[in-house]
Structure 1
Amino acid sequence: MACFSSNHYQKNQNGFKKVQVVVVTVPLPAQGHLHQLFHLSRLIATYNVHVHYVTTATHNRQVKLRAAIHAWDSLILRYWIGEGCVKMSEGQRFQLGTIGALSLSVVSSVSIVICNKALISTLGFTFATTLTSWHLLVTFCSLHVARCMKLFEHKPFDPRAVMGFGILNGTSIGLLNLSLGFNSVGFYQMTKLAIIPCTVLLETLFFRKIFSRNVQLSLTILLMGVGIATVTDLQLNLLGSILSLLAVLTTCVAQIMTNTIQKKFKVSSTQLLYQSCPYQAITLFIIGPFLDGLLTNQNVFAFNYTPQVLAFIVLSCLISVSVNFSTFLVIGKTSPVTYQVLGHLKTCLVLAFGYVLLHDPFSWRNLLGILVAIVGMILYSYCCTVESQQKAVAEAAAQLSQAKESESDPLINIESDGDILTDGAARAPGWNSDKDLQA
């Protein structure tokens, strides 16, 4: 698809008015697909972009779509017409990809929690850190197979950044497990709640990121809801508090790095995960058996691995591939704060599934907390959506303003009804939009 812009003069009651013109050349597989343009024109009209002219070039099977863009009031939308369908713009594809990443993260995370709960609570395999190292090993092997099949491109970048990021990620996982082991469940839940405000603080101080009051309010409501639903007892001790503080800091920094590395080095979530997985796995392989032995007073290598235990371990490792991939994908496409919000949604879903499927005890406090948390999540999603739309409109307006100020020469000449419209020719257009659209 080719997209060109120029200016021409349109006749009105006061004479001639200069308007900006965008011409989109769309390849079609056959001339019989002209009916797609009517659907396209309706889509464009939705965004206040008015279709004025359509003609066909039979020799190369192309359709030239001429749209007058009203500066300051419109967005330039580019579409590609393929085999009988109108594909979405880049912004729509990004939104759909983000929704898919969020959905994949929720489904895979809830699934692995249910699987691990059966593995740990029912079968007695309590070696969480060592299990995580196996997860990362299987994830790396899966990505290596995908790379050999050329499903993604290997893109090496700064090895020191990759090593530091991988070790930090592995360390944060170990510290979170230690925090759970040396603190009560209620204090551990408070530790997880502290990750969002800590992330907001770090991004504000070091990245100059601004969080609006609406976003801050929605996050506060969310944290209150999750706190009501999950925090029960608060038993403090010095060692547990220090471990929790270190766990929060390392987790926040690791998740911020996940986002910034992808943007700085122009790598995808798959490429970053593939390169950092070995360092995370090695870190947890080293510290995993020691931490698990410290927390459980058992030896992971002396455990009785029955066929049922092995089956659940394999299932957990397979699900972890999706969990790890979706984690990097969500943080890369959104932000560390959004990922933490998603994490609290998973917590609410796990509580609900535990009550429905496993008949776990469920009180009015759990229900109230989940409802408040859902309200906070909805408000956060709404605020982020509105702000992203406002940002997109502002960027489009700035681009149109620059195009208007440049006043460059026309990039193309458009032939219509025997007349040539150029940027310098002050003549009325010699075509009829309604007539051509009905052709």
Structure 2
Amino acid sequence: MKNLIFISLFALLIPNYSYALTPESIASGIATNMGVKQITTDIRESISSIISQSSAEISKNQFEMRTSLLILSESLDQIASKNIDKTFNQLSDAEKQVFYDTSKLLELWNQGNSKNINQLNELTERIESILFKLPGMKNTPLVTSSYPLYSLSQPAEPTVKIDINGSTLNQSTPTLNFDNITCTLIHKDTTQLSFTCPSSIFVANGQTNYLIGNLKTYEKNGFFKSIFSKKFNEIEYKISIAVIPRIIGTLKGKVNNSSSILETQERSVSFHHRNNHCSGRQSKHWVVNVTEGWKIDPHSITNKSNSSRNSSVTIINKSEHGFAFDASIANYGDCGPFWKDARGSATGAATYTEYRQKELLELNQIIETQPHWGTEVIVYESTKPFDSASLELIKINGEVDIITQSENRPWYDVELDKKRGLIIFRPKSLSNALSH
């Protein structure tokens, strides 16, 4: 019992919960000699609020916390039921200590004080020992733990076995019910009860479902009391089992494949120059540069230049980066006192083709799927490599994981192989996932 209660009450030290009744209000009730019934009600409501507002975390520790908090609450109820009309000051020192210790635990939790683990262990040990030694508790059945803490939705077996541990559990015939479904008692002794329950009650759709069972145990009355009243008193406990959906969540995403096409454009350029009279021969050089981001096909360059007599235009330095016009321009005829030579001219002109590889991004949408625990899913498979992928996993606890590469995470593994064109999603078994 010590280990179970320690795990549960250690979970109380985790911050970021809030509840209606503060540890201070419970301590105030103790200090002002409030009735035992009211103090117990305040503690029960505080614990209930902690459970209801606990995070959506799916973990073994979380389930142990919920289970043992319920057990702690029910144990305090047993103490209160035997002191229903008393005020706090009328309790025995041992009984008072139970409430002092519980109030202190809530105070430590409220402060988020994780540095007092040893002190917390001592407190939980005292609570355990006090519960078994309180006056009037000799014949009272006490539950200390129950298993399983969780179950997969819609189990394959026809029944699920539930074990309940504690003390003084074998009096009369205990029963366990979930709503209107009665489980079958298959074993009982002082420290353990075992039931089998129909698998049909273990159902969860989309999110964790917390089944709360009603365990009825019995407390044997003493000889004289049983003469005037019934032989057994009925003692009830709540048994919590988390039912986990068969799916790990919803997986969707996309794979990006890129390809390229050859894009071309036709270009033309030209220039013109004419000499002045009596200017002599002129040499001209014009450079043509490729358009940024493109290349020139040198074989496509066509010279469409023309020139006057004694002039010429040629194209030189052809490459994918550009080319040049080289012109020699000369007048013809003579210059005299009363006449002038004919002015030489040249027009450089060319056509050519530019090209570039244009990247095309193709988005191949992956079909949305809901992987099951422990079952491998081939999410994407192609005979061709892909450039990148982005997967989104919306887990059943509401968390969202983004996956862009091979991963090894607590709940699953992902093999994302771009070269092989393959994406495999491998959920771990539920027991392996919850062992982290």
State if a TM-score over 0.5 links the two structures: no
When normalised by structure 2's length, the TM-score is 0.21
Higher Rg:
2
When normalised by structure 1's length, the TM-score is 0.20
Answer 1 or 2: which has greater strand percent: 2
